[in-house]
Chains A and B, each alone.
Chain A
């Protein structure tokens, strides 16, 4: 659906996006992750035609429309991180305004407005002034607006920023519904747990470069998750540490009073044999578990602890 080839954006000597190439298949819910200044928003703005790329190209679907062209814009629905409003404009007038800007007929806009407001749970706010809505409602309205022209690709730039927990949950549910309807969605967010819950694939950016991209479960498998093992013992901790350090394929990461954390680079069979060896050597084990990988830990590992 979305193919990005060698995308680059320079601001003078500063490179905001550095030779980024990415393929997002149709129906995917893709999460863009990265610390502030990583180049996520710049990439999104280039895709939406709001910024001119210094190099590279973007292709949506099978079209060969150039970046920023009317054909390209027709394929994209864009939800910015900040929702600006007009005073004295009602919800249905707001929808009518943007529908008209896509060249849609008033009758079609009115019909779609009713359907979309129902989808985003704002049917009862149809005749309300937009500036009287809560931030969460405004954001959902913005999503409804972006769907008016039935775009193939929906791009959301940090849609949950500034929302309260309830509004975040509502937004997450809305995006899940849209994904279930078959929409291809690209979302950048600061809330990593949220992304890991709903995205089917992610891309991690740092300093303008795409460090890693792929299906979320594949990425989790690749990195620390599943390889870090916690061993808890009531006695024989020193013996256990000595045995573990002697074992090829195992590195001891930390030792606390009753807990040893190791990284196992061997197979599950080797790990099983190692546990048996510990028990044979009078190490009294009380616990043994694998650490589940999380997007947070993966993110911290790949970006060198860059704060989100």
Chain B
């Protein structure tokens, strides 16, 4: 059976691959990664040359991985909303979106196509950054499977960022407004999800976080923290081994969900669910048959 590509993915990749902006983007991406690599290496070397430092440089070079990974994640988190936030509003500005809606593609397929094309574009960036990333693995201390899991993590982040971007794009007429709204939603997901935890700790005078930690399952920042803990030390941010929390610190449900790798998998599922909800909301918004019709276009 022949797999049918979503036509939007094919078209978007065709158009992107031919633009000079994309090539310059790849160049800039690699340049930033190389700079981060050189800077991190210099800092590690300087710390080893220190008279009081007892560690050897090889054991510290393992930290190149989180430095480069965080650099990549930050760039991806910045790029994806810009790509997707302008995807639907860009089609509207170009006046091609109406024609798209008159075809047999469902609004959800259009939205999904836009998100998938954004994720594939990010994979181009990840592939371009792979040689730099691989440098942090050559000195040893890390399993190569970590690189594979890192790519999966980047895909997960891209899907979430892409779905937020596409949702904002469906809400705003102008691309710039969609980008701004995307970063506002980022702020809510990355920062405001800590608010219940902080309030709970204040309420209990720091004795127990209760179940307020569960909201952090949707926080990609916490997911990444847990990912690096697992990859680099084999321990969990919440787990029993090297844990921050004991049974008394959190609620019963949180305690059981934070054992071993459960939290990471559950968090990945929650992030995917959140992405799906954003995509469904975007599809609902772009469907003309759902319009309230209170405003003349």
Interface residues of A (CB under 8 A from B): 9-12, 14, 16, 45, 48-52, 54, 67-68, 70, 73-74, 76, 78, 80, 82-89, 93, 97-98, 100-103, 145, 149
Contact = CB atoms under 8 A, between A and B. Distances in A.
Contacts of B295: 11-12
Nearest to B102: A78
A72 B103 CA distance: 10
23 contacts: A11-B294, A11-B296, A48-B102, A49-B289, A50-B101, A51-B297, A52-B288, A52-B290, A67-B289, A68-B287, A74-B104, A76-B102, A84-B94, A86-B11, A86-B15, A87-B15, A87-B19, A97-B7, A97-B10, A100-B5, A101-B7, A101-B105, A102-B104
Interface string B254-297: 00000000000000000000000000000000011111011111
Contacts of B95: 80, 82-84
B7 A14 contact: no
A96 to B, nearest CB: 8
Contacts of B18: 87-88
Contacts of A50: 98, 101-102, 288
A145 B99 CA distance: 10
A9 B105 contact: no
Contact of B100 (A45, A85, A101, A103): A101
- Overall SS of chain A's interface: loop
Contacts, number: 91
Q: What class of interface size applies to chain B in its complex with A?
A: 20 to 34
Contacts of A54: 293
B14 interface: yes
Interface string B5-27: 10110110011001100000000
Nearest to A54: B293
B291 to A, nearest CB: 5
A82 B7 CA distance: 22
B103 A73 contact: yes
